[in-house]
Structure 1
Amino acid sequence: MTALSVNLNKIAVLRNSRGGSEPDVLAAGVACIDAGAHGLTVHPRPDARHIRSADVHALGALCATRGVEFNVEGNPFAPPRSGYPGLLALCEAVRPAQVTLVPDSDGQLTSDHGFDFARDGAALHPLVAAFKALGCRVSVFVDVGDPTVAQAAVVGADRVELYTGPYAEAFAAGNPDAALRAAAGTARLAQSAGLQVNAGHDLNQANLGPFLAAVPQVREVSIGHALIGEALYAGLDATVRAYRRIVDAATAARSADPGCAGSSRG
């Protein structure tokens, strides 16, 4: 099954642009779950530009109550500071089902590249172990085409999340085939090392179906920017339901294909 996790960062951006509590991030989370989202994703950054630590606690409690997965993204190397206790401390307090490690710096507008395992692998290993000791499944952000993607298993990760920004650009330009082949190859390389595969960044209703049809056994897609933008026109409930139809159709197609096979890690 491909799970849909809705990223709520953009709701928090709107709230923070005006101050106060509207639009309400927790209410948006409830609406997404009611519409069929399998889980919620947040990426609290140290500068609190969108999701804040208090949001992480509130949404973690919501997901636990509603029985859906909570995915917390962040840079494990970012030090604590005022208003941000650090990714490990947040996860220790909230115990999300999954933590997705992303190598983003403070100045990045958005996550736009995966880990360099040759540079970061040794430092990642004990951090991955610390998150797993909290009971979290650990996913690490990787570039499509990275020949060292299997090193994610060496550092102890359970999953990788494919950075799909370049695929989305290629799809919009009308030439997605090479990007799809590269994503499928990277997914298979990761799966051969016992890793499961997630995907995210700039996926939308137009490009998601072709991606899931081409890339084998994607376990989760995390979608926020496009989904919230589309919801401005169609409504949040209708938009989440539309994404559910896409991931459900992809799951059904895989189930009907006897050649599909899973991978070993959780």
Structure 2
Amino acid sequence: MTCQLSVNVNKVALVRNTRHLGIPSVTRAAELCLAAGAHGITVHPRPDERHVRAHDVHDLAALLKAWPGREYNIEGNPTHNLMAFIEAVRPDQSTFVPDSVEQFTSDHGWNLADAAVRQRLRPLIAQAQAAGSRVSLFMDPEPQLMPLARELGADRVELYTEPYAAAWATGDAAARAASLQRYAAAAQAALDAGLAVNAGHDLNRDNLTPFLRAVPGVAEVSIGHALIADALEMGYDATVKAYLGCISAALATAG
């Protein structure tokens, strides 16, 4: 089993946007993370551009051309501004997230039990794939929904991990075990349906290794807020290497 680390640089853009000096540089942050060993870069360009802006999406696409084998993941709501970026940039992966325009942060997955949602997503998944992009659907850990994601043509699901992070933060062993069991069941259902599994949201240096030890087949974790917060104290190089160490520790245990 292998698991890749994709660094979400939205929070770098958030700090930059508070002034008009162009610092900190989003592309420089991405470059430093890649140099430290990150397998890819993630951005979530929202319509209000409160984090990354349109030019960042294009600047990062140009940067990643100099890093063959590293992935570019663009996430967002395909009914807002995401599809235009996919068509223009053709990222390696497109992660469809059902957030609203005004939403503070992503906080739930797609409700694929709703036929209207499935009908809306199906042609958008096909459109992104026609542009050469792998499609991942942001999902709550609901095992029964995973076959529906595959039926729609998705390549992967990204398990929304904030509930796991919240359970882990309580320090309650039973709550932690119950949450991990829920995510393990969802991941196994996705794998059984023929999907690859990603994970992201509030993963950090404390909870990442236990998650990867318990949840089967995670191919990629996308980490932004905690990683960038750690980098403020540790620097990008040491921080990325620390997260890669968390992944390696989980894989060593699994092996």
Q: TM-score normalised to the size of structure 2? A: 0.95
Matching of residues 1-266 of structure 1 within 5 Å: 1-67=2-68, 68-78=70-80, 86-119=81-114, 120-145=117-142, 147-175=144-172, 176-254=176-254, 256=255
Q: Which amino acid aligns with 2:248?
A: D
- Equivalent pair of 1:69/1:97 in contact (CA under 8 Å): yes
Q: Aligned with 1:5: secondary structure?
A: strand
Q: Which amino acid aligns with 2:245?
A: R
Q: Distance in 1 between matches of 2:184 and 2:190?
A: 10
Q: Which amino acid aligns with 1:208?
A: L
Q: Distance in 1 between matches of 2:66 and 2:148?
A: 35
Listed one character per residue, the Cα deviations across residues 32-77 of structure 1 (whole Å, up to 9, x for unaligned) are 0011000000000000001011100111111121111000001001
Q: Aligned with 1:221: secondary structure?
A: strand
Q: Aligned with 1:65: secondary structure?
A: coil
Extract unaligned runs of 5+ from structure 1: 79-85, 257-266
- Equivalent pair of 1:160/1:198 in contact (CA under 8 Å): yes
Extract unaligned runs of 5+ from structure 2: none
Q: Aligned with 2:199: secondary structure?
A: strand
- Equivalent pair of 2:110/2:137 in contact (CA under 8 Å): yes
Q: Which amino acid aligns with 1:72?
A: I
Q: Aligned with 1:100: secondary structure?
A: strand
Q: Which amino acid aligns with 1:18?
A: R
- Equivalent pair of 1:2/1:250 in contact (CA under 8 Å): no
- Equivalent pair of 2:39/2:71 in contact (CA under 8 Å): yes
Q: Which amino acid aligns with 1:90?
A: F
How many aligned positions are there? 248
Shift of 1:107: 1.4
- Equivalent pair of 1:11/1:28 in contact (CA under 8 Å): yes
Provide the aligned C-alpha RMSD in A.
1.0
Q: Which amino acid aligns with 1:16?
A: N
- Equivalent pair of 1:142/1:163 in contact (CA under 8 Å): yes
Shift of 1:20: 2.6
Q: Distance in 1 between matches of 2:245 and 2:149?
A: 31
Shift of 1:145: 2.8
- Equivalent pair of 2:200/2:223 in contact (CA under 8 Å): yes
Q: Distance in 2 between matches of 1:133 and 1:20?
A: 38
Q: TM-score normalised to the size of structure 1? A: 0.91
